[in-house]
Amino acid sequence: MTTEQRKDAYGDAGVDIEAGNEVVRRIKSLAASTHTAGVLGGLGSFGGLFAVPEGVDAPVLVASADGVGTKLKVAFMAGIHDTIGADLVNHCVNDILVQGAEPLFFLDYLATGRLSPEVAEQIVRGVASACRENGCALLGGETAEMPGFYADGEYDVAGFIVGMVPRARLIDGSRIEAGDVLIGLPSTGLHTNGYSLARKIVFEVAGLGVDDRWPGDDRSVGEVLLTTHRSYLPAIRPLLASGVIRGMAHITGGGITDNLPRVLTEGLQARVARASWDVPPMFQWLQTTGSVSDEDMRRSFNMGIGLIVVCAPGDADALLASLAAESPRVIGSITRGDRGVVYV
């Protein structure tokens, strides 16, 4: 059997080899634009190579993997795909940041039923842009064409990140004590969680389309729902070496209710003041339109707080001043009690 016959047979089965090659051609320069000093070699090898930076005392590697959930459904409807790539990177960056790690490199995985080089390029363009902004190298990835597995026009993406922190600067919550202060940093919207409920409210209950105006907003429904999940690295990076941060929680699926306890030891409880920040209008509209209870809202959405920083009471004023450009606010404190979150 000739090479041409083999290619045609695979094409008849639904896999377009040339489309895959075209994707690689399109994204090579995007990946190269993110390369840092640690990258060894280029895109295309079986494995990406990265030299661990020297001069770091007792380095600890911190790794994480994540996706963007059903936010993808909104991207399919709107035909906008570059924000999804940035969401993927920033979510992963935040997940390792809360342990004090700065990113070294990132890998992505894209799976689809029928590969569109244009869509793949948009996704990777968003990935590369966010990698550059976070000082993280896009080291490699995988694009899988799986006919019959995904509906036409749909895909799934996942991201994998590795970062590093000196062992002495590892943030694991073990230094958190009763009396410590909770400082919240605002989110830019839903980020990448709660979209199954949000989509039901927006598209089924309210009957809106992606091109309709979001109620009370000049932006479209698609623009609001696809607002990029922000990275907190630029705000937090200057504070990592100071030691003032005793713990951090990235508010993702499960909201403050489920994520803040992840950094608390047994016997410590977070008391969160509900009136300490203004819940953004989009969340208020979702709750009212969908008739969602307060408890379900807090476990489905970030409610306007995307990152919580824990510090000693004596460090709170200085920390607030350092983060002033981020509009931080004290949202509660740590007390003794059953491990969990109490809203007051």
Question: What's the pLDDT tens digit per position in 303-321?
Answer: 999 999 999 999 999 999 9
Confidence of residue 13 (pLDDT cuts 50, 70, 90): very low
Contact 251, 267 (CB under 8 A): no
Both tokens assigned to 219: 């932006």
Indicate whether 45 pLDDT > 80.
no
For each of the domains in the chain, give its residue range(s) and CATH number, in order of start.
Answer: 3-169 (3.30.1330.10), 181-343 (3.90.650.10)
Band (188; pLDDT cuts 50, 70, 90): very high
The pLDDT confidence band at residue 55, using thresholds 50, 70 and 90, is: confident
Which pLDDT belongs to residue 1? Answer: 47
Q: Rounded to the nearest 5°, which phi and psi values hold at 221?
A: -60, -45
Q: Is 308 exposed, middle or buried (0-12, 13-18, 19+ CB in 10 A)?
A: buried
pLDDT tens digits, residue range 214-234?
A: 999 999 999 999 999 999 999
Tokens, residue 146: 């799986």
Q: With contact defined as beta carbons under 8 Å apart, do 169 and 56 qualify? A: no
- Sheet order of strands, 268-272 included: 247-250, 305-311, 181-186, 329-336, 268-272, 340-343
| CB distance 341 to 182 below 8 Å | no
Please, what's the largest Cα pairwise distance for the chain? 75
- Three-state DSSP at 174 gives coil
Spatial separation of the C-alpha atoms in residues 235 and 244, rounded to whole Å? 14
Q: Return the minimum-mean-pLDDT range out of 34-48, 50-64, 311-325.
A: 34-48
Cα 124 to Cα 138: distance, rounded to the nearest angstrom = 9
As a whole-number percent, the residues of the chain with pLDDT over 70 amount to 92
Of 60-69, 132-141, 144-153, the poorest mean pLDDT is in 144-153
In this prediction the pTM is: 0.91
Residue 204 gets which letter from DSSP? I
Sign of CA dihedral 169, 171, 174, 176: positive
